[in-house]
Amino acid sequence: MLKKSCCLLLSLFCALLLCACASAPSSAEVPPTPPIAEATPTPEPSKTPCPHEWKDGACLLCGEACPHEWENGVCLLCGEPCPHEWEDGVCLLCGQLCLHEAHDADAVCLRCGAQCWHRYESGLCTGCGREPLLFDDLLPEEYLRPAAHQGQCLEDTITWPGGRSYPLSVYLPYGYDENGRYDLVIVALGDNNHAPDCTETVHKLHKTEIVLSNIYDHLIEEHLCAPFILVGLEHVRSMPDFDFFDRLLRESLFPTVARNYATWLDPDDPASWPEVREHVALCGISRGAVYTLHGGMQKAADLIGNFCCLSMGTSRLSVVDALRESDLGSRSIHCFVGVTGYNDPLSGVGDVRSYRHIVDGLDCLQDGENAFFVGVHDAHNWVTWSAGLFAALQYMF
Ligand SMILES: [Zn+2]
Ligand SMILES: [Zn+2]
Ligand SMILES: [Zn+2]
Ligand SMILES: [Zn+2]
Ligand SMILES: [Zn+2]
């Protein structure tokens, strides 16, 4: 009886199940199952991130190492000094520029290992303390022969005030980079000298040959001064007066040089030229030296911070009076160099006297500080002027 009722119950259950199946919709009509919501993780006990107090490369609170954000010599997070990885004077980590403050006898920077150059203040190199290399006679043969690394000599022209075209000689240093910034040396030549005489002309003297560009190459190759661009002006005798020379510099030479060569002069912003006058030198030879005094120092000191007078000859005290009354006195002069050939019948004695007058008479010049005298045991010639320029370029740049 029990067995029978069990069977009945089972068959009843099966019938109900079948019935339920029959009333269910077909699989095609099944609505899409909604996406299963991701299981929310069981909240852990709350843990705020470490606020990190970086010090000397690690966090004082959690001990984590500082991820270091180097900028200009230090880590902005922990203050640790940058270990510096130098390449060409720039740190690859923090971007700092090395100022090459100290260097060895070969002018290699003691900090970053970059090649730099000797640079003189008050007659001593600020990087290594040495004195400039000076000669009071014909330069040694090793400085006269061609250097291993030679610059380039070019010819250019400038248009004088009034429209006349005039030749210009140009020396560009070895490895010249037209995107660089080079110090500028302007040479004003004396009577009967032509523009290339201060660059590539071969001057035959004392059974030797003097080529000025060779001397410039050696100065740069031995890192005795910074690489520079030099431009030579045809002799100044054909210029009507010192005002004309001043206009020539301002209106013709500076704009042409700024446009064509990589100096510190911004061709698009002449108003900024006075700011870089320490990077500009005017060197005058013989009559060119007289123009350097009266046209350059007296009238154009706003644009030029270095002057060299080679065989200036004039002992007129009026020079000092004129310079005192000019705006030179209100300006700092980076460097003034007087050069004479002691055996120069034209200006030997006068040069020494003129140098003394000028340096003693002007507050902006101090002998041995920013004013230097170079005497050469020769005459009114390229022996004196090559040795003089060799010295002056070191004092200036
Ligand atoms: Zn921490
Ligand atoms: Zn750090
Ligand atoms: Zn660094
Ligand atoms: Zn350095
Ligand atoms: Zn040095």
The per-residue pLDDT for range 181-224, each reduced to its tens digit, is 999 999 999 998 999 999 999 999 988 999 999 999 999 999 99
Domain ranges within the chain, ordered by starting residue: 141-396
Question: Could you give the CA distance from residue 343 to residue 53 in angstroms, rounded to a whole number?
Answer: 75
Ligand of minimum distance to the alpha carbon of 394: 5
Q: Kindly report whether the global pTM for this prediction surpasses the value 0.75.
A: yes
Query: What spacing in Å lies between the alpha carbon of 96 and ligand 5's midpoint?
Result: 22
Whether the per-residue pLDDT at 253 is higher than 90: the answer is: yes
Could you please report the per-residue DSSP string of 214-232?
A: HHHHHHHHTTSS--EEEEE
Whether the per-residue pLDDT at 28 is higher than 90: the answer is: no
Query: What spacing in Å lies between the alpha carbon of 213 and ligand 2's midpoint?
Result: 51
Query: Rounded to whole angstroms, what are the CA distances from 144 to 117, 196, 204, 237, 263?
Result: 21, 17, 12, 29, 26
Ligand of minimum distance to the alpha carbon of 116: 4
326: nearest Cα among 310, 302, 307: 302
Query: What spacing in Å lies between the alpha carbon of 66 and ligand 1's midpoint?
Result: 9
β-pairing, 203-205 vs 208-210, is: antiparallel
Q: What is the pLDDT of residue 31?
A: 56
The per-residue pLDDT for range 269-285, each reduced to its tens digit, is 999 999 999 999 999 99
The per-residue pLDDT for range 341-363, each reduced to its tens digit, is 999 887 777 888 889 989 998 98
Query: What spacing in Å lies between the alpha carbon of 111 and ligand 4's midpoint?
Result: 5
Query: What spacing in Å lies between the alpha carbon of 36 and ligand 2's midpoint?
Result: 46
Return the structure tokens found at 148: 């291993």
Q: Quick one: pLDDT band at residue 234, thresholds 50, 70, 90?
A: confident
* Burial of 141 from C-beta contacts in 10 A (0-12 / 13-18 / 19+): exposed
β-pairing, 208-210 vs 335-341, is: unpaired
Query: What spacing in Å lies between the alpha carbon of 89 and ligand 1's midpoint?
Result: 35
Q: What is the pLDDT of residue 43?
A: 55
Q: What's the full length of the chain, in residues?
A: 397
Task: Estimate the share of the chain in helix, then strand, then coil, as percent rounded to the nearest 5.
Answer: 30, 20, 45
Q: What is the pLDDT of residue 39?
A: 56
Whether the per-residue pLDDT at 319 is higher than 60: the answer is: yes
Whether the per-residue pLDDT at 375 is higher than 90: the answer is: yes
212: nearest Cα among 220, 225, 223, 201: 201
128: nearest Cα among 155, 149, 151, 110: 110
Return the structure tokens found at 30: 């099944």
Dihedral sign (CA 298, 301, 303, 306):
positive
Ligand of minimum distance to the alpha carbon of 78: 2
The per-residue pLDDT for range 59-116, each reduced to its tens digit, is 999 999 999 999 999 999 999 999 999 998 999 999 999 999 999 999 999 999 999 9
CATH architecture of 141-396: 3-Layer(aba) Sandwich (3.40)
Ligand of minimum distance to the alpha carbon of 225: 5
Ligand of minimum distance to the alpha carbon of 96: 3
Ligand of minimum distance to the alpha carbon of 89: 4
Could you please report the per-residue DSSP string of 219-275?
A: HHHTTSS--EEEEEEPPGGGS--HHHHHHIIIIIIHHHHHHHS-BS--TT-GGGGGG
Query: What spacing in Å lies between the alpha carbon of 178 and ligand 3's midpoint?
Result: 28
Ligand of minimum distance to the alpha carbon of 222: 5
Query: What spacing in Å lies between the alpha carbon of 88 and ligand 4's midpoint?
Result: 8
Ligand of minimum distance to the alpha carbon of 71: 3
Q: What is the pLDDT of residue 162?
A: 81
Question: What residues contact residue 320 under an 8 Å CB cut-off, 6+ apart?
Answer: 357, 358, 361, 362
List the beta strands (DSSP E) in the chain: 54-55, 58-59, 70-71, 74-75, 86-87, 90-91, 120-121, 124-125, 152-159, 165-172, 183-188, 203-205, 208-210, 228-233, 280-285, 306-310, 335-341, 371-376
Residues with CB under 5 A from ligand 2 (ion): 66, 68, 75, 77-78
Whether the per-residue pLDDT at 44 is higher than 70: the answer is: no
Q: Quick one: pLDDT band at residue 318, thresholds 50, 70, 90?
A: confident
Query: What spacing in Å lies between the alpha carbon of 95 and ligand 2's midpoint?
Result: 15
Query: What spacing in Å lies between the alpha carbon of 121 and ligand 3's midpoint?
Result: 28
Query: What spacing in Å lies between the alpha carbon of 370 and ligand 5's midpoint?
Result: 17
Query: What spacing in Å lies between the alpha carbon of 18 and ligand 1's midpoint?
Result: 67
Query: What spacing in Å lies between the alpha carbon of 343 and ligand 2's midpoint?
Result: 67
Q: Quick one: pLDDT band at residue 160, thresholds 50, 70, 90?
A: confident
Q: Give the residue carrying structure tokens 């520079």.
A: 228
Ligand of minimum distance to the alpha carbon of 52: 1
Ligand of minimum distance to the alpha carbon of 56: 2
Residue with more model confidence, 235 or 28: 235
Query: What spacing in Å lies between the alpha carbon of 100 and ligand 4's midpoint?
Result: 3
Q: What is the pLDDT of residue 7?
A: 46
pLDDT mean over 19-36: 50
Query: Rounded to whole angstroms, what are the CA distances from 307 to 57, 262, 365?
Result: 52, 21, 11
* Burial of 77 from C-beta contacts in 10 A (0-12 / 13-18 / 19+): middle
Question: What residues contact residue 208 under an 8 Å CB cut-off, 6+ apart?
Answer: 138, 141, 144
Q: Are 161 and 251 in contact (CB under 8 A)?
A: yes
Burial call 214-228: b when 16+ CB within 10 Å, e when fewer: bbbbbbbbbbbbbbb
Q: What's the whole-number average pLDDT of the chain?
A: 88
Task: Give ∠ CA 33-39-44 in degrees, rounded to 5.
Answer: 175
Residue with more model confidence, 41 or 231: 231
β-pairing, 58-59 vs 54-55, is: antiparallel
Query: What spacing in Å lies between the alpha carbon of 260 and ligand 5's midpoint?
Result: 31
**What percent of the chain lies above the pLDDT cut of 90?**
73
pLDDT mean over 315-331: 76
Query: What spacing in Å lies between the alpha carbon of 73 and ligand 1's midpoint?
Result: 23
Query: What spacing in Å lies between the alpha carbon of 317 and ligand 1's midpoint?
Result: 75
Query: What spacing in Å lies between the alpha carbon of 142 and ligand 5's midpoint?
Result: 21
